Amino acid sequence: MSKRPLDLVSCISAEKKRRKKRRLLLAELYLAMVVVVVDYVHKERRPRDLGAFSDEEHMQTFRKYLLKNLYEGSEVTCYDELRLTKRNFHDLCNMLRERCGLCGSVFVDVEENAAMLLLVLGHGTKMRVLRGTYKRSLEIISRLFSTVLSAIISLSGEIIKLPDPSVQPPEDYKWKWFEHALGALDGCHVDVCIDVAAQGRYRNRKQQITTNMLGACDRNMKFVYVLPGWEGSSSNSRVLRDAMSCQDAFVVPKGKYYLVDAGYTNGPGFLAPYRSTRYHLKEWAASQQQPKTLKELFNLRHSRARNVVERTFGSWKKWGILRNQSIFKIEDQIRIIIACCVLHNFARDRQREMDDMLLQEVDNEIAATPVDILDDTNLIRNVQVTTERNNFRDQLANDMFADYQARLG
C-alpha cells in the first residue's frame, strides 16, 4: 500500500513531460509554417517591395526606380540633381551613344552611367555614396566613371572650338566699341589635391593649392579655348605664352583681338586696359562717379565687356566638384576640368533660359569678391609691347571720350 502513491506521482510527472514535449513540437511546427508563409508572401510581392535585395533582378529594378525619379520625374529635380534638364540629359546620352560609341550592358545602361558621372561632377558626390545608392562595387563605379568621362572629353573638339572670325556677332551695347573683339580671356584657379612633395609648385600667391587654367570665352559665355594643368604658382601670362606655342595652339586672326585684364600685355591680338587707372566695376559702383578722363571711360567700358569671362567662370563653377578639392589623381582632376567645360558649353547651347536663372547668383558672388590688385613687377610678359597697339588703344579711347562728351552736350 505504501508504494502506490509513489507510482502515482511518477505517472503524473511523466505525463507532464510528455505534454511539454508535445507543446514544444507544436511550437516548432508553427514557426516553420510561419517561415514558409512569410517567404511565399515575400516572393509574391517582390516586384513591389523595393527595400529588399535578394537577387540581381530585384536590385536592377531598384536602380531603375531611382534613376526614373532623377531624369523622368520633375524638371526641377532633374536639373538640381544632374545639372541638366530632362530633355538635355537624354540628348547627352544619345550623343554619347552615336558619336562616342558608348554602350551599356545587360545590367548597366548608358543613362545610369551618365547619371552617376553627373552626380559626381555636379555635387562632388563620393563614389562610396554611389556604392550605397546603386549597390555597385567601387571597382565597377570607378571603371564606368572613367569610361563616360573619356567619352565626354572626346567631344571637346566639337563643342569647344575657336570662333569663326567671319561670323558677325549679335549686337550688344557692351561690345559696341569693341566690334573686332572675339571675346575675353583670363586665368582661373581650381583647387586640387596633390602630393605633399609637389604642393610647392601648385601653391599660388594666396597660399592655396590650385591649378591655373586659361579660359577664353565668346560673348555668349561659351568657352572657345581652355588649357588646364598648369601649376597654381604660374602666372596667367606664362600660361598664355604656352597656349600660343603648343601643338593645339591658341591663335588669334589678324585684325581681331580678345579683351584681357592688366595682367597681360597690350599687344597684337589682345587689348588690355590702362594701368594706374580705376578699372573694376565694383570700384565704379562704390564711388558712384562718372568717368572724367578718356582713360577712365575706356577702362569702364572695357571692364563691362570683359566681365563676360568672370560670369562664365562663375557659371562654370556651379559644377560642385570644381569648388572643392577632390580625391582623384591630378591627371584625372585635369580631365574632370575639361569635361566640365564641355558640359558647360553643351548646357549653354540648349538650356540658356534655366542657366540665366543662376546668373544673378553668379553676379552677386562676383560683386562680393574683393578686388584683386595686380603687382606689375611680378608679371611675365608674353607679348612684346608695340607702339602700333598702344596707338590703337589711344585712338579708341579718344573716340569713346569724344562721343561721350557729345552726348553729355
Q: Is the dihedral of CA 394, 402, 217, 164 positive or negative?
A: negative
More confident residue, 9 or 99: 99
Q: 258 pLDDT exceeds 60?
A: yes
Looking at the fold, whether 171 and 150 belong to one and the same domain comes out as no
First to last CA, the chain: 142
Residue 32 domain-assigned (yes or no):
no
Q: Which of 137-141, 237-241, 380-384, 400-404 has the lowest mean pLDDT?
A: 380-384
Grid coordinates representing 323 are 569648388
Per residue in 111-142, pLDDT (tens digit) is 888 988 999 999 988 888 888 777 778 888 89
Quick one: what percent of the chain has pLDDT higher than 70? 78
217, containing H or E segment: strand 210-217
Looking at the fold, whether 147 and 63 belong to one and the same domain comes out as yes
Looking at the fold, whether 179 and 88 belong to one and the same domain comes out as no
How far is residue 211's CA from residue 31's CA, in Å, rounded to a whole number? Answer: 65
Looking at the fold, whether 105 and 229 belong to one and the same domain comes out as no
Give 189's strand partners.
212
Grid coordinates representing 179 are 566690334
Looking at the fold, whether 149 and 176 belong to one and the same domain comes out as no
Per residue in 282-304, pLDDT (tens digit) is 776 666 678 888 988 898 889 99
Structural domains counted in the chain? 2
Looking at the fold, whether 315 and 274 belong to one and the same domain comes out as yes
Residue 339 domain-assigned (yes or no):
yes
Give the domain-ending residue among 125, 154, 183.
154
Looking at the fold, whether 225 and 366 belong to one and the same domain comes out as yes
Give the domain-ending residue among 154, 183, 215.
154
Identify the band that residue 1 occupies on the pLDDT scale cut at 50, 70 and 90: very low
Question: Could you tell me the residue range of the domain that residue 368 belongs to?
Answer: 165-408
370: phi > 0 → left, psi -120 to 50 → alpha, else beta; which? beta
Amino acid 352: pLDDT: 60
Q: 172 pLDDT exceeds 90?
A: no
Residue 311 domain-assigned (yes or no):
yes
Residue 160 domain-assigned (yes or no):
no
Looking at the fold, whether 178 and 104 belong to one and the same domain comes out as no
Around Cβ 140, how many Cβ atoms within 10 Å? 13
Mean pLDDT for 361-384 is 48
More confident residue, 170 or 315: 315
Looking at the fold, whether 208 and 233 belong to one and the same domain comes out as yes
Residue 349 domain-assigned (yes or no):
yes
Residue 110 domain-assigned (yes or no):
yes
Dmax over CA atoms of the chain, in Å, equals: 142
Closest CA to 227 of 237, 209, 242, 217: 242
120, with CB counted inside 10 A (0-12, 13-18, 19+), is buried
More confident residue, 287 or 2: 287
Looking at the fold, whether 125 and 179 belong to one and the same domain comes out as no
Looking at the fold, whether 226 and 335 belong to one and the same domain comes out as yes
Per residue in 318-354, pLDDT (tens digit) is 899 998 888 888 999 999 999 999 999 999 888 665 5
Q: 311 pLDDT exceeds 60?
A: yes
Per residue in 199-240, pLDDT (tens digit) is 899 999 889 999 999 999 999 999 999 999 999 999 888 999
Helix axis angle for 86-98 and 75-82, nearest 10°, is 60
Residue 297 domain-assigned (yes or no):
yes
Q: 168 pLDDT exceeds 60?
A: yes
248: phi > 0 → left, psi -120 to 50 → alpha, else beta; which? beta
List Cβ neighbours of 9 (8 Å cut-off, separation of 6 or more): none
Looking at the fold, whether 147 and 201 belong to one and the same domain comes out as no
Residue 42 domain-assigned (yes or no):
no
Give the domain-ending residue among 122, 154, 186.
154
